[in-house]
A = this chain, B = another copy of it.
Amino acid sequence: MPAGELRYPSPARNLTMETHAAGDDEAWVWAQIKAEARRDAESEPALASYLYSTILSHSSLERSLAFHLGNKLCSSTLLSTLLYDLFLDTFSSDPALRAAAVADLRAARVRDPACVSFSHCLLNYKGFLACQAHRVAHKLWTQSRRPLALALQSRISDVFAVDIHPAAKIGKGILFDHATGVVIGETAVIGNNVSILHHVTLGGTGKASGDRHPKIGDGVLIGAGATILGNVKIGEGAKVGAGSVVLIDVPARATAVGNPARLVGGKEKTSSNEECPGESMDHTSFISEWSDYII
């Protein structure tokens, strides 16, 4: 399958995050994106204008991203030029935001079999775009520019149907797959290398106005439609099954499934589980366990 081939450009080592500097990494990914866009523009004239305006006319990833987000998120009362300016200033001045974007691009490329290229993710993944825009909103929030941060949140929710409170803290290497309907509350925290499917809620319990949303550890995988409520802790490398309703802490490397969610799998198994589900995207390895558990 060509799509498969495309997923592993040589040298393959570049697909995983390595020891070279972040700047080099950004440059390498940007070069890949331009090469992909050039190839696509040549093979598909109807898309060439789009690819030139969004990617090929830009001198850097941050400019391309600022342009694309500005045009996607603008409205008749929030002009694209204003948003472009805001995004470009923020990405230009903060290398960490750029490094996170690169890590997210790699995450999509490695974990999502349907992600045929970096440029596909950059242009088409609403989860990727919502996450990058959220990072800008979060930065504004920490700078006490809250009304602007909230206006951005609103535009992201309108345009991508992804509603992330600007105060929420999100790590890097994040894959929001499909992303429609994701809701993440004000005091939620998400670690690195986490994968979250669509319709996932990290919600509050409504009881209090303080710290009231979930804390998601590194490498966690949260299946489609899962609802995690309250200030609970989902430990490193844990998995939450699709459609689960989680109101309790989930230990590291454990799996929670069902409504209400219970933990499945024994302690020994958990400890021997060395993989990172947020990266392997194995949604269903718990099926047999679950079946066992249930029956």
Contacts and interface: CB of A to CB of B under 8 A. Distances in A.
A163 B148 contact: no
A interface bracket (residues with beta carbon within 8 Å of B):
35 or more
B54 A294 contact: no
Given A50-B78, A206-B282, A259-B243, A124 B146 contact: no
B165 A114 contact: yes
Interface of A: 1, 3-4, 7, 40-41, 43-54, 56-57, 63, 67-68, 70-72, 74-82, 84-86, 111, 113-114, 116, 120, 123-126, 145-148, 150-151, 153-154, 157-161, 163, 165, 178, 180-181, 183, 185-186, 197-199, 201, 203-210, 212, 221, 223-225, 227, 229-230, 241-245, 247, 257-260, 280-285, 287, 290-291, 294
A7 B78 CA distance: 26
Nearest to A226: B243
A14 B7 CA distance: 48
Contacts of A3: 146, 209
Number of copies: 6
B75 A76 contact: no
A154 B294 contact: no
Given A80-B80, A290-B260, A247 B284 contact: yes
A280 B85 CA distance: 41
A284 B230 contact: yes
A201 B71 contact: no
A48 B77 CA distance: 11
Contacts of A54: 77
